[in-house]
Each structure stands twice: as structure tokens, then as C-alpha cells.
Structure 1
Amino acid sequence: MGRMSESPRQSSAFTLHPRLAAGAHWLGRRQDCQLLLKDNALFPWILIVPEVPQGVEDLHQLDPERYRRVMDLVRRVSQFVSTQFRPDKLNVACIGNQVRQMHIHIVGRREGDPAWPGTVWASGAKSPWPPEEAERIRGAAREELELKLDPNPESMMH
């Protein structure tokens, strides 16, 4: 499946931030959002990146219909992480202090994981997904979340 180390394609409307793409596996698209699996098997962690224009950084800036679609996807991805990984707790956050491009973290947490009970952002613990496991997660996500297999040609990469 390969990690996303290439530069994203440029578009006047949307370009995936390189820091979001780095160290992640691209899962697919749904409802004008990119879905990425962070390449850290210690924390089942999916990013939802809405394809919104630069400057739209926070959820309240979305129009009501777009907000509803994004929140529906957050709910669906949260359910997927719960079903696939059986975490003790889900952390869902739209922070954006280091990367301002709107993105939502959905992280499965287990009591006793390397960052517990702190945040995953403060933890330096990393362990890449084995390629076959990352591919299994990608396949399950594409099936359960009905993801499109090809990225928006206007927005991203391979």
C-alpha cells in the first residue's frame, strides 16, 4: 500500500497538507473528504481531511449541510475504529495548532498504551503498521465506509 511520501497534487481549491500526508496511508475518499491511516500501529488513528478551501480551518466555518456530512463521516469512522480495533476509548479531535488545514483525528486508545492516559500528540512512541495489516485496514475501510478508490484528481496524489 505504501506510505504517502510524495508531494500532493496542487489545486486552486484543495491541496492536502504535506505534514498530514507524511507518515500516513491513504485510505480513500468519501463525502468530499480524504481519509488517512496514520502509520503508527500503537494507536489506531484515522484522519478525516475535508476538501475545503484554504482558510476554512474550523468546523463552525462549514455551512450547515457540509457540517452535517462531515459529522456523519466522523460518526461512521468512529464506529469503524471501534469495530476494527476494539479500543477502550475513542479520542476525536479537530485541533489544528500545528497544521491549520482542517482535519479531524479519530484515535482508538487502550488503557496502558504508550501514551495513556496522556495525549497521543505528546507521545513519541511509534511503530509502523506491518504492510499486510495496513492493507487489510485499507480494504476493510474501503468496504465498510464505501470509500472511493481514486483520489480527487484536483486535490492530491497517488
Structure 2
Amino acid sequence: MEYKANLLDAGEIFLAEFTLDGRLERDGIPIASIGLCQMRLMNDRRWPWLILIPQRADVSEVFDLSPLDQTMLTFETNMVATALKKVTGAQKINIGALGNIVRQLHVHVIARRFGDPNWPDQVWGFGRAEPWPEDEHQAFAARILENL
């Protein structure tokens, strides 16, 4: 999936292509573009798990973003984390930008609670993903959007 982003370079506006990594596209369900980031729901209902992907070309690290985009990423991450905690009632929100496998900059925002699958260990690589039924992921996405 390709997106266009306006960037400023020495006073000129030009278009740079933003292409979503195939793994992020395959594993996540699109919810909305919330400004800088595309917000996706990880297609594993065992954990309410959102992914924020800054819509900028060729970015793999937070420090690769402009200072303004860094501020926007922080703002959007906090906004999404707050909504996720409110919607899920989670005891803990885990936030991470790892990128060891998927190099494109993306931020995981995961709701965790005592007794969830694999608590308190990590969610990556544990068991088999349980895909969201369409009606459930749409209802969940709507609740997240209502609380942003």
C-alpha cells in the first residue's frame, strides 16, 4: 500500500512515497490515519494491540524523524495509549519500537492485564495468533476512535 506525504526540503514541497512494510500490512487491520501515523490493530485478539506507523518514507528510527514529527509521534502514542487503557481497563500499557525484524519505524501499543496469555512475559512469538472476527475488530476500532 503506498501513501504520499508532503515534506519540506530547502523551502520546496515535494512528494515522497511512503510504502507500508508488507508484514505490517499483513499482520495489522487498518483503523485510521490519525495525523502523522497510520493506526492498525494487530490481528491477534488475545491482546488488544495497536500499531502506529509514521507515514514517512525510509524511516527506521525515531531520531530519523524531524523534531516536529518526533513530537507528533509522542503525542499520538500517548493519545492512543490513553484510549486503549480506557477501552480495555488494562492494568499496564506496553509501548515499544523495536524494529529488529520489521525495519520500518512502528510503535507497538499493547494492553496487558494480570492473567492474560503469557502474562507477564512478552507477547511476541507466544502461541498462535487468534484472528479478530470482523464484527469484533470493527466494534473495538470504533471504541478506540471514540476515545481518541
TM superposition score normalised by structure 2 = 0.85
Cα RMSD of the aligned pairs, angstroms, is 1.5
Q: Paired residue for 2:118?
A: 115
Uncovered stretches (5+) of structure 1, i.e. residues with no partner: 1-7, 146-158
Question: 2:52 aligned with 1:48, yes or no?
Answer: yes
Q: Paired residue for 1:20?
A: 24
Shift of 1:61: 1.9
Q: CA 1:35/1:60 → structure 2, altered by over 3 Å: closer, same or farther?
A: same
Flag the structure with larger Rg: 2
Question: What amino acid does structure 1 have at the position aligned with 2:101?
Answer: Q
Question: What amino acid does structure 2 have at the position aligned with 1:9?
Answer: E
Uncovered stretches (5+) of structure 2, i.e. residues with no partner: 5-15
Question: What amino acid does structure 2 have at the position aligned with 1:122?
Answer: G
One of 136, 139, 147 as aligned partner of 1:133: 136
Alpha carbons 1:41, 1:127 under 8 Å: kept: yes
Q: Hey, which of these two has a bigger chunk of strand by percent?
A: 2
Alpha carbons 1:114, 1:125 under 8 Å: kept: no
Shift of 1:144: 3.0
- After TM superposition, the structure 1 stretch with the greater mean CA deviation from structure 2, 121-130 or 39-48, is 121-130
Q: Paired residue for 2:8?
A: none
One of 63, 85, 92 as aligned partner of 2:66: 63
Q: Paired residue for 1:89?
A: 92
- After TM superposition, the structure 1 stretch with the greater mean CA deviation from structure 2, 27-36 or 56-65, is 56-65
How many residues align? The count is: 137
One of 102, 106, 120 as aligned partner of 1:103: 106
Alpha carbons 2:36, 2:69 under 8 Å: kept: no
* % identical aligned pairs: 29
Which structure carries more relative contact order (alpha carbon 8 Å, separation 6+)? 1
- After TM superposition, the structure 1 stretch with the greater mean CA deviation from structure 2, 122-131 or 75-84, is 122-131
Shift of 1:38: 0.6
